[in-house]
């Protein structure tokens, strides 16, 4: 694991821990949670940022995806937004996810976990990005990997 992934992983773990606690205490009222917010408790800022969607999700789903690919945590808001994007907007989201991999080469499963959507949509986006010279590709079938093109790579064929 690269050091630059540590802080986001810690923030992600804290967020998932708070969600897990909320899931394990369905008897708590919103009034009790609001009081914690009003008192600016240790987790008040984190509670303020939670969405209702997160409260209804299974808190262990992302942990499974993270363990499988070892990358940074999945940004659930971006994942939801990416599913509604198309064309150049979706391509930019895919490119951003590849760029956040810290120079690592990533596979389609890694990308689908972070941008969602049907397989054909991701394949079309990756094809456009490769054709535009914004990302590079190596391998075939399940061994295909993608990485972001850096300035010094742009001159290579």
Q: How far apart are CA 138 and CA 144, in angstroms?
A: 6
How many Å is the maximal CA-CA distance in the chain?
Answer: 61
Q: Same domain, yes or no, for 102 and 123?
A: yes
Q: Are residues 95 and 123 in the same domain?
A: yes
- Ranges 87-91, 94-98, 135-139, 147-151: which has the least confidence: 147-151
What's the pLDDT at 151? 61
Total number of residues shown for the chain: 157
CB 81 within 8 A of CB 102: no
Please check the confidence at residue 143 and state whether its pLDDT lies above 80.
yes
Question: Where is mean pLDDT largest: 21-30, 34-43, 103-112?
Answer: 103-112
Q: Roughly what angle, to the nearest 10 degrees, separates helices 108-115 and 87-99? A: 120
Total of domains in the chain: 2
pTM (2 d.p.): 0.60
End-of-domain residue from the set 18, 33, 66: 66
From 31, 66, 101, the end of a domain falls on: 66
- Pair (80, 149) in one structural domain: yes
Task: Give yes or no: residues 20 and 90 share one domain.
Answer: no
Q: Burial code of 4-40, b = ≥16 C-beta within 10 A, e = fewer?
A: ebeeeeeebeebbebbeebeeeeeeeeeeeeeeeeee
Same domain for 144 and 126: yes
Tell me the pLDDT tens digit for each residue of 3-25: 566 777 777 778 878 888 887 88
Specify the pLDDT at position 120. 94
pLDDT tens readout for residues 46-80? 888 887 777 777 655 555 455 456 677 777 778 88
| Same domain, residue pair 106 and 59 | no
Domain carrying residue 83 = 75-153
Q: Could you give the CA distance from residue 47 to residue 28 in angstroms, rounded to a whole number? A: 14
């Amino acid at each position: 694991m690269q050091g630059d992934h540590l802080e986001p992983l810690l923030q992600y773990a804290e967020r998932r821990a708070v969600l897990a606690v909320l899931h394990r205490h369905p008897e708590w009222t919103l009034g009790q949670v609001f009081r914690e917010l009003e008192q600016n408790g240790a987790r008040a800022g984190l509670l303020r940022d939670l969405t209702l969607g997160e409260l209804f999700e299974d808190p262990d789903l992302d942990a499974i995806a993270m363990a499988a690919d070892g990358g940074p945590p999945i940004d659930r808001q971006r994942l939801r937004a990416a599913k509604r994007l198309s064309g150049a907007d979706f391509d930019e989201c895919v490119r951003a996810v590849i760029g956040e991999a810290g120079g690592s080469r990533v596979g389609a499963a890694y990308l689908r976990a972070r941008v969602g959507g049907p397989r054909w949509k991701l394949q079309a986006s990756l094809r456009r990005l490769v054709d535009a010279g914004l990302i590079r590709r190596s391998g075939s079938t399940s061994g295909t990997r993608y990485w972001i093109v850096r300035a010094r790579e742009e001159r290579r064929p």
